[in-house]
Amino acid sequence: MGSLNLVLLIGAGNQEIIIAVENLSSFDFNITGTITFNEGDPIDIALLIPSNKQEKFLKIPFDRINDYPHFELQIDKFTTQGHENQYDLKIKPKPKHFAKARLVSNWGLPGKSYTLWTPKDDASDPINIPKITRKPSYQADDLAYIPLGNLTEMAGFGRELDLHASAIFKNPKSVSPEVIYQRQLSEFATFIDRALRMNIDRVFIIHGVGKGRLRKAIHQKLSSNPHVKEFVNEYHSKYGFGATEVIFQ
């Protein structure tokens, strides 16, 4: 007899987390509850999952894992005789859970699986609702680790680089313009290399307007980078004309 699992899958070029449920049992389950984060609004959950059914029901940006989502769920189990039992669970995924992601069986994507219900949970007294905190579970036929790089680093990777001197130096007035310029180019090169290593799809380079020397140098380097699909320096509501959006292949 199978289990009921919460599955967090890494999709879209490692840019998003796909939240799914798989019911490998012969029972129906109703799942209600809330996903809360350290920052940001909570997300309500209300799902009816029939027996032997799997369903993707929500996508969140990958970096929201860095906000430590907490799943506080109520699981109601139904048989042919009607409602049978109820369980309260807390699931607390952490960035480190995804540092070595496995290919999750039945889904074809890397991620983590968290058990919501197994037959042994029925041994609990239905009057005293069990409160359970689950850790990631691994199925026997999970494939080997997939080399996705340091996903914990990815969770904390900002998608924009501010190259203003004040963002790089504590006291930019004490540094010569040429030293600032060379440091800006070095920061830019390092940032692009990190983004490519982690398969980021797009980033913003904030270079300011000024006389355009830095912008021209950055555009020249982007033009010769075979991993860059395109880059755009247009008016943006947040950056004005002082930033270039870079889209990778």
> For residue range 65-122, what is the model confidence (pLDDT) as tens digits?
878 889 999 999 998 888 888 888 899 887 777 766 778 888 888 888 899 998 887 7
Q: Is the pTM of this model over 0.75?
A: no
> For residue range 179-196, what is the model confidence (pLDDT) as tens digits?
999 999 999 998 998 888
Q: 177 and 214 in one domain?
A: yes
Residue 2 has a pLDDT of 86
> For residue range 4-14, what is the model confidence (pLDDT) as tens digits?
999 999 886 66
Q: 84 and 42 in one domain?
A: yes
Range of the domain at 104: 4-147
Residue 99 lies in a domain: yes
Residue 14 lies in a domain: yes
Read off the CATH number of the domain in which 241 is found: 3.30.1370.110
Which DSSP string do the residues of the chain spell out, in sequence order?
---EEEEEEEETTTTEEEEEEEE-SSSEEEEEEEEE-SSS--EEEEEEE-TTEEEEEEEEEGGGGGG--EEEEEEEEEETTEEEEEEEEEE---GGGGTTPEEETTTTEEEEEEEEE-GGGGGS-SSS--EEEEPEE--TT--PBP----HHHHHT--SEEE--HHHH-SSGGGS-HHHHHHHHHHHHHHHHHHHHHTT--EEEEE---TTSHHHHHHHHHHHT-TTEEEEE---BTTTBTSEEEEEE-
Residue 48 lies in a domain: yes
Q: What is the mean pLDDT of residues 7-26?
A: 87
Question: What is the rounded CA–CA span in Å between residue 75 and residue 85?
Answer: 8
Note whether 62 and 112 are within 8 A (CB).
Answer: no
> For residue range 200-234, what is the model confidence (pLDDT) as tens digits?
788 899 999 888 899 999 999 999 988 898 999 98
